Amino acid sequence: MTPRRTARALACLATAILVTAGLAACGGGSDDSGPRQLTFFVAIQPGGTIEEVSKRCSEESRGRYEIAPEFLPTDATQQREQLVRRLGADDPSIDIVGMDVIWTGEFANAGWVEPWQGKLKQQVTEEVFPNVIETASFEKDLYAAPFNTNTQLLWYRKDLVPKPPETWDEMIDQAEDLKEAGTIQVQANRYEGFMVWANALIESAGTPILSGPETVDLEQAPTEKALAVIGRLANSSAAPASLSTSDEDSARLGFEAGESAFMTNYTFAYASAQAEAPEIGKEMGFARFPRVDAGVPSKPPLGGFNLAVSSFSDNKDVAFEAAACLANKESQLTAVELDGLPPSRSDLYTDKVVTKAYPGFAGLVKESIEGAGPRPTTPAYQDVSLAVQRTLHPPDKIDPDDTESIYDELKSNLEDAVKREGLL
Amino acid sequence: MEASAQKPAVSSQRTRSEHRLAWMLCAPAVLAMLAVTAYPIGYAIVLSVQQIDLRFPDEGGFVGLDNYLAVLGSELWWTDFFNTVFLMVTTVAIELVLGMAIALVMHRAIFGRGVVRTSVLIPYGIITVVAAFAWQFAFAPDTGFVNNLPLIADDMDWFGGRFSSFAVIIMAEVWKTTPFMALLLLAGLVTIDKGLYEAAKVDGASAWQRFTRITLPLMKPAILVALLFRTLDAFRVFDTIFIMTRGAQDTESVSILGFNQLISRLNLGLGSAVSVLIFICVFLIAFLFVKGFGTKLDEGRPGG
């Protein structure tokens, strides 16, 4: 390259840099006039809830802010992995975080999300189920506005099962006796869904996994009873062939294909069956998540998203306002209408939108949420969940008649996990 | 150029200035290597002797070799280590045999040489994650076609058991990287003088004898290079397992173990210790190859 050509190239480059800098400066200067841009990182919802509520809230702000959704994958583990990499690096490009109920302790403890205060705090918790508020709180502070919640019901085939079972043992007996579709669909792949199932069973048996952020509870007798249920199902003819790789979607597909008379799954399963397999859909019955102990009411799983404001946002003031709007009554109704997501406000369960989305079982969903057994709240939640998944998976290794050794292993692994010791 | 009086002085000066020039030409590459390789490795070592967890920003401090002891004392590390070695040995062995066969075919192809060589390389051109998904879908009990094949049970859950999962992982890995092996072997194959085969034929050597007595010995350097590359690659296997089982059914490799500590748990101390141990293993494998076969690695190089 001749010197002159090099010089020209350098000049071009310099001009380009100057022009871009000038544009950036202009962009920075327009902050006062135009709406503030807020980025909302949240799991994608196929029905379009997120786009809809973002648009509505931006409009309602009358030019104060504009919410741009950034979608995360559908899988909870992958959502978290993307978020924590950004938050761990103090990324200012996140303003509002759609936070799964299990991340609160971790995100709050790490200082990634801001506590809510004053009037807005009161506004976003109004009429919300108390245990859902718990999932958005850590050490007495509220870190997120409850948006949607979720719970699992027992879905069964009315044409094959005259009366829904009360307990897991009863359900396994019934399934084993059926000549066709004698299987039970659950979520037992080694992923967060397995933790959801195991936690619900242990809670239903009468003991929480943790009693504090760093204290393992896990009372022996009830835990062994819950483990026996997992082992019994996994080693029974009532287990689908791919039990140890099943998730919410494979469970739904198996049920819709007519392979199973029973399924525990979230509320989306109903609308899905009506649309994808109307023949099965019209025979679809629903009941509360089965009990482990016949004498103790079950504690169904609790899921859902809460909306938090990132500590690294440059627009915290408007972000709180926007998050409050994204989580308000109207937004929750949009979520139930477009994506079938249960509202976190208990007063909405008699609303026409909700009773239309959950024909005949809106009350059951409400009751199930009220009686739910949430997963433990701890900054080390990831370690606790990994420890449970590692110890109990694949589920068929649990001998239903001898659960003592697996109980000891679970307890000692959990004790390491809350202290975040050892490999997982 | 400077005018010098004596000839030897000229040549030594020239050698020196050539050396200097060589260093200057290398410098950008060396600097880039330091920035992108040495710095991350050094940083990983620094992290691995500390207690660092991004979820607990207030904690921390030097813990010496505690993280290494925790890793090496864990049953999990050893299970995953043996999984990795098992996968490495089986995939590389199968790839070597298949790769050799494909290289011979590519070498001998009389018509459509370009087409044959290109089509063999297609799997290698596919992104590993995409290939892993394709294999996973093929073997999935609900959507896959494999269970519809004769002799295979319709409800066979390939990813529900340890060895069936390994079988699919190995198949996907072999399918994906055999072309790379074949290409490296083909490069060795074309350097062999055709005259040797003709001489052997004249002496009455059978095809098998020609393969074992001429092809294999003369290809040893190419085979060793191919084995070295693939072994190092195979030890770090991640994508295929991550997509297919995410380590469930005891199919976890050491790379997935490192990922779990670093990305899922954000435990940078423990995770870095795992990473450094993986680095040491890879380094040892490379070292053994180069030491064990060092002299043979440059055999057959022109002028070597």
Q: What ipTM was assigned to the predicted interfaces of this complex?
A: 0.81
Residues of chain B with pLDDT under 70: 1-11, 294-304
Helices (H), B152-267: 162-189, 194-202, 207-210, 216-235, 239-244, 254-259
**Which 3 state secondary structure label does DSSP give A44?**
coil
Confidence band of A1 (pLDDT split at 50, 70, 90): very low
For the segment A232-253, what is each residue's pLDDT rounded down to a tens digit?
999 999 999 889 989 999 899 9
Using a CB-CB distance cutoff of 8 angstroms, which residues of chain B are in contact with residue A111? Answer: 57
pLDDT at position B113: 79
Residue B57 near residue A110 (C-beta atoms within 8 A): yes
HSE-CB for B291 with a 13 A CA cutoff: 6
Q: How far apart are CA B286 and CA A280, in angstroms?
A: 59
Task: Determine, for residues A241 and B53 on separate chains, whether the beta-carbon distance falls below 8 Å.
Answer: no
HSE-CB for B233 with a 13 A CA cutoff: 19
Helices (H), A110-212: 118-125, 130-135, 168-177, 192-205
B109 CB neighbour count, 10 Å cutoff: 14
More confident residue, A33 or B153: B153
How far A398 CA lies from chain B's nearest CA (Å)? 14
Instruction: Please give the mean pLDDT across all residues of chain A.
Output: 90
Residue B141 near residue B156 (C-beta atoms within 8 A): yes
Burial of B25 (0-12, 13-18, 19+ CB in 10 A): exposed
Task: Determine, for residues A241 and B156 on separate chains, whether the beta-carbon distance falls below 8 Å.
Answer: yes
What is the domain class of B75-299 according to CATH? Answer: mainly alpha
Task: Determine, for residues A382 and B263 on separate chains, whether the beta-carbon distance falls below 8 Å.
Answer: no
**Inter-chain contacts counted by CB atoms under 8 A, chains A and B:** 84
pLDDT at position A4: 53
Q: How far apart are CA A215 and CA A195, in angstroms?
A: 18
Q: E strands, A276-374, where?
A: 284-287, 302-309
For residues A124, A341, A386 and A414, what is the CA-based torsion angle, rounded to 10 degrees?
A: 60
| pLDDT exceeds 60 at position A80 | yes
Strands A141-142 and A137-138: antiparallel
Residue A154 near residue A264 (C-beta atoms within 8 A): yes
The domains of chain B are located at 2-35, 75-299
| pLDDT exceeds 80 at position A52 | yes
Residue B139 near residue B168 (C-beta atoms within 8 A): yes
A237 shares contact with chain B (CB less than 8 Å) = no
Q: Which of A245, A276, A378, A412 to mutate to test the interface with B (most CBs of B within 10 A)?
A: A245
For the segment B136-188, what is each residue's pLDDT rounded down to a tens digit?
999 987 778 888 888 888 778 888 889 999 999 999 999 999 999 999 999 89
Task: Determine, for residues A109 and B247 on separate chains, whether the beta-carbon distance falls below 8 Å.
Answer: no
pLDDT at position A24: 44
Task: Determine, for residues B157 and A245 on separate chains, whether the beta-carbon distance falls below 8 Å.
Answer: yes
Q: Measured on CA atoms in the order A111, A114, A117, A123, is the torsion positive or negative?
A: negative
Burial of A282 (0-12, 13-18, 19+ CB in 10 A): exposed
How far A348 CA lies from chain B's nearest CA (Å)? 36
Q: Which of A35, A34, A42 is nearest to A96 (CA)?
A: A42
Q: Which of B252, B266, B268 to mutate to test the interface with A (most CBs of A within 10 A)?
A: B266
pLDDT at position A280: 94
Amino acid at B84: T
